[in-house]
Amino acid sequence: MSNSDTEIDRAIQQLVDAHFPWGDGPCPERVEDRLAHVRRWLEQQAAIYRGIATALIARVEPILTQLQQRLSANQPDRLFFRIDESHITKSPESILEKMAREWRREQTLAPPVSFHNLDQLKDLGRFRIVANFLDDVEVITRCIEEPYDATKRTRITPGQFQLREEFGLASNRFEDMIAMAPEHRSTGERCRKGWFSPRQADLRGYRVEVQIVTLLQEAWDKKEHFLVYERVRRGEHVPLEHRIIFADLSAQLAQADRDFNRLKREAEAQPDGELEHAAP
């Protein structure tokens, strides 16, 4: 175990002992019992986010399925979208580690994110919509944003209306982390990202993160998560060279996405068979 791991473990124990709302009930004497109690509590909190994310998926998926049926009438086998809900909530261990690391980084008397304001962790509930081409990402984004656009509300579908009635979208739009200017980019992550909150009175304040990405963006993220993010989370040193390589790879895959998108548009613009015989 590294020194960083030991420091995080100590920070987690201090977090639990000093800031968990034990209330009037007895506080377990053993550290292991206190941590186990807190993990069970966090699992209950995560279950709320899981339920909200599942309900949101149930509202979004029919909208996209209908869109796919309309757009893919002539391309029935082409991937348009799939929903990845394999990591729909954070684990209690990951939540505790993130809270402890932010506390250490901020060096404040009280943790900036604690058990009373878990909603400050924007990705406790999350899922990803994976599309094939950049154009697909933009179509999906517009389709989900439309019910929140006051100028288009008279033309939305019943499914879009139901989505808007049950969930709010922060700022009524997705954040664009694909076309972000280089000087504003602090990470290689590229996606359209939005945060949805249920309108149900007793669930307000909870939010679910939704990312819309291409296959190449997802591929980069899964590799970066394992080779960089998880190492940082464990307190391991990640060489600057590795970070630079991942930033370069993100840019290379972004260019590949743009090239594939251009080829798709040119193929769709050509009469049948003309592209095959075109000069190189």
Work out the percent of the chain whose per-residue pLDDT is above 70: 94
pLDDT at 191: 97
Instruction: For residue 197, give both structure tokens.
Output: 């909150």
Which of the 8 DSSP states describes residue 223? H
Radius of gyration (C-alpha) of the chain in whole angstroms: 22
φ/ψ (deg, to 5) at 195: -120, 125
Closest CA to 159 of 81, 51, 66: 66
- CATH level 3 topology of 31-214: Beta Polymerase; domain 2 (3.30.460)
Instruction: For residue 43, give both structure tokens.
Output: 């699992």
pLDDT at 5: 66
pLDDT at 72: 67
For residues 199, 200, 206, 207, the Cα torsion angle rounded to the nearest 10 degrees is -40
Res. 278 pLDDT band, cuts 50 70 90: very low
- Mean pLDDT (the chain) is 90
pTM: 0.89
Distance in angstroms (rounded) separating the CA atoms of residues 80 and 71: 9
Work out the percent of the chain whose per-residue pLDDT is above 90: 69
Neighbours of 274 (CB within 10 A): 10
Dihedral sign computed on CA atoms, order 229, 230, 233, 239: negative
> For the chain, which residues make up each domain, given as ranges?
31-214
> How confident is the model over 149-194, as pLDDT tens digits?
998 877 899 999 999 999 999 999 999 999 999 889 888 999 999 9
Question: Tokens 């290689």 — which residue?
Answer: 188
Higher pLDDT: 104 or 85? It is 85
Answer for the pair 53, 125: CB distance below 8 angstroms, yes or no: yes
